[in-house]
């Protein structure tokens, strides 16, 4: 059974999924944006566990528990900083999604929610990042048989529209193909 891909306009810290993905920085010591929101909602034990992880390379991902969050786990990943698109940003971003899904698959998780990794402070244009996100998730799904639901958690209506267009467009294509 293939996973359902959905786009939602929500605060990711409220989602009761098996894992939410955090757009962290390489120190894993917290920050602003979604990183700050996740640490605030999870409570201090999250930082305590992060301190044991020894940081995270851009494109890689590391697992912690969710603590006070409704999500069971947090998968921390570090996206690329946008430098115009000619410094390998798309490859690093795709790796964030692939590595996060690999961790979810190893734990046989059924549901995961991603924020728009790198599209805030790190400056990655949302349309470009969303295309990488949807494509890398779709191509990684065959290796994640346990996954039933992948949520692209948008923090604004415009972002939601971009993801919905990408997800509907792809279904449209599949329909035509069939």
Q: 153 to each of 57, 162, 175, 176, how far by Cα in Å?
A: 23, 12, 25, 28
Single residue of 92, 150, 153, 162 touching ligand APR by CB under 6 A: 153
The H or E element spanning position 178 is: none
- Counting residues that bind ligand APR (by CB under 6 A) gives 24
What are the beta bridge partners of residue 75?
A: 21, 63
Instruction: Specify the 3-state DSSP secondary structure of 5.
Output: strand
CA distance 51 to 30: 10
Establish if 55 lies at the interface with ligand APR (CB under 6 A): no
Single residue of 35, 66, 92, 133 touching ligand APR by CB under 6 A: 35
> Based on CB atoms, which residue is closest to ligand APR, 11 or 135?
11
Taking CB under 6 A as the rule, which mask of x and - marks residues 57-96 in contact with ligand APR? ----------------------x-----------------
Q: Which stretch binds ligand APR (CB under 6 A): 53-61, 99-107, 116-124, 167-175?
A: 116-124
Q: 30 to each of 7, 46, 64, 72, 137, how far by Cα in Å?
A: 25, 9, 13, 19, 25
Contact 77, 96 (CB under 8 A): yes
Q: Measured from the CB of residue 68, what is the shortest distance to ligand APR in angstroms?
A: 15
**What positions carry a catalytic annotation?**
35
Single residue of 58, 59, 66, 115 touching ligand APR by CB under 6 A: 115
Residues that bind ligand APR (CB under 6 A): 11-13, 23-25, 31-37, 79, 115-122, 153, 155
């Amino acid at each position: 059974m293939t996973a359902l891909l959905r786009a939602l306009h929500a605060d990711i810290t409220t989602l009761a999924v098996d894992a939410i993905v955090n757009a962290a920085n390489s120190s894993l010591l917290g920050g602003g944006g979604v990183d700050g929101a996740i640490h605030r909602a999870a409570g201090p034990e999250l930082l305590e566990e992060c301190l044991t992880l020894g940081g995270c390379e851009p494109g890689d991902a590391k697992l912690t528990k969710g603590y006070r969050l409704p999500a069971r786990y947090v998968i921390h990943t570090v996206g690329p900083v946008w430098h115009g698109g000619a410094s390998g940003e798309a490859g690093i971003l795709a790796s964030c999604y692939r590595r996060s899904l690999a961790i979810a698959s190893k734990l046989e998780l059924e549901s995961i929610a991603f924020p728009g990794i790198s599209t805030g402070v790190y400056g990655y244009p949302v349309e470009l990042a969303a295309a990488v996100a949807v494509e890398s998730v779709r191509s990684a799904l065959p290796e994640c048989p346990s996954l039933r639901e992948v949520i692209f958690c948008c923090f604004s209506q415009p972002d939601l529209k971009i993801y919905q267009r990408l997800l509907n467009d792809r279904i449209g294509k599949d329909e035509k193909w069939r």
